[in-house]
Amino acid sequence: MKDLIQKLVESWGPSGYEDRVRELIRAEIADVVDEWRVDALGNLIAVRKPIRPGGMRVMLAAHMDEIGVMATYVDEKGFIRFTNIGGVYPLNLRGGRVQFRDGRVGVINREEKAEGDPTLAQMFIDVGAASREDCPVRVGDPAVFLRDFVDLGPRLVAKALDDRVGCAILIEVMKQLQDTPHEVVGVFTVQEEVGLRGATTSAFGVEPDLALAIDVTATGDTPEARKRPMKLGAGPAIKVKDRGMLAHPKVKDRLIETAERLGIPYQLEVLELGSTDAASIQTSRAGVPTGCVSIPTRYLHSPSEMVDYEDVTNTVRLILGFLREPIDLG
């Protein structure tokens, strides 16, 4: 899966501009799914029909978009002021590089006289222009972090692992799914980072009986980190709660039972900050029993996020095991 993950994380696709990522994913799954479509907001919806009767319509969701920035003003010397697309932290930006849709690269820096903790208002992007007229970037142009994928063996480092690693897992599940009573609808969602928007519309259209989001979660295993139970290398994190949702208890318990039956290491996730597509899916229409499987990730929303590769492959095993038999929520 490493080659697939690399292709996904190095693709360009901030919230609202996911078309390149969507086409890459479509090419990966088109020959293994029974049908696929793109809805009005840009979600890619792929369906695997049940192999045998007795199941549900199960929605699996992973978001394609990544955080980024957008030009808001170009000054007379050609320096670009910008705003965030999603959760961008100023402390992660100084000296970093961004790439615009046309491939143009810029360097982020901070005003010389600025003091204290940095803010986006103090920062600018330099694309080498000498004037406003010379600058190729226009107001409204989006950009993403520019950073190569690095394979450290057991650990992977890249930008946009949130949530391209979830997309890679969903692709692998759709490819490997062989024996299931369920109609499995894999949804690669848009605009999660700016408000769970793609999951909101796609869940309404799919009308699932049950759903799982596949996303990343923060860890507590670095020096002086906030106290969190999640850590790299200890297995997929089965969500109990985050700021936006409480996992359906029977979905959560089914995930735990599956992990224990298959001998897959797992962690329980309670996340005080942040949420996932699961939060909007569970409140769609009359409500959907929803859970979430998370990949523990260090340095979230930075240009160098880190995951453990065994956590990734074990997440694939867990979801495949979850889908293998009928599910009783009674």
Domain ranges within the chain, ordered by starting residue: 2-66+159-323, 68-145
CA 165, CA 162: separation in Å to the nearest integer? 7
pTM of the model: 0.96
Residue 298, Cα to own-chain centre: how many angstroms?
14
pLDDT of residue 36: 97
What is the C-alpha to C-alpha distance for residues 177 and 86, in angstroms, rounded to an integer? 33
Q: What is the largest CA-CA distance in the chain?
A: 68
pLDDT for the residue 298 = 97
Contact partners, residue 134, CB within 8 Å, separation at least 6: 78
Distance of alpha carbon 97 from alpha carbon 93, whole angstroms:
8
pLDDT reported for residue 48: 96
Tokens of 143: 């950009």
Q: Smallest Cα–Cα separation from 17: which of 61, 62, 69, 59?
A: 69
Which of 252, 215, 289 is CA-nearest to residue 59? 289
Residues ≥6 apart with Cβ < 8 Å to 149: 5, 6, 9, 10, 156, 157, 158
The closest alpha carbon to 160, from 66, 19, 298, 25, belongs to: 66
Report DSSP letters for 70-134, one per residue: EEEEE-TTS-EEEEEESS--GGGTTT-EEEETTS-EEEEEE-TT--SS--GGGEEEE-S-SSTTT
What single-letter amino acid sits at 94? R
CA distance 319 to 150: 26
Catalytic residue among 18, 66, 183, 192: 192
List residues bridging with 48 in a β-sheet: 184
Q: Using CA atoms, how far apart are residues 70 and 88, in angstroms rounded to an integer?
A: 11
Q: What is the pLDDT along the chain (330 residues), one digit of tens a residue?
A: 999 999 999 999 999 999 999 999 999 999 999 999 999 999 999 999 998 888 999 999 999 999 999 999 999 999 999 999 999 999 999 999 999 999 999 999 999 888 888 999 999 999 999 999 999 999 999 999 999 999 999 999 999 999 999 999 999 999 999 889 999 999 999 999 999 999 999 999 999 999 999 999 999 999 988 888 899 999 999 999 999 999 999 999 999 999 999 999 999 999 998 999 999 999 999 999 999 999 999 999 999 999 999 999 999 999 999 999 999 887
* 73 vs 143: CA distance, rounded Å: 14
Beta bridge partners of 73: 81
CATH of domain 68-145: 2.40.30.40
CA distance 17 to 214: 20
Residue 258 Rama label (left phi>0; alpha psi -120 to 50; beta): alpha
CATH topology of domain 2-66+159-323: Aminopeptidase (3.40.630)
- For 242-271, the DSSP string reads -SS-B--HHHHHHHHHHHHHHT---EEEE-
pLDDT at 54: 85
Told to judge if 66 belongs to the known catalytic residues of this protein, a careful annotator would answer no
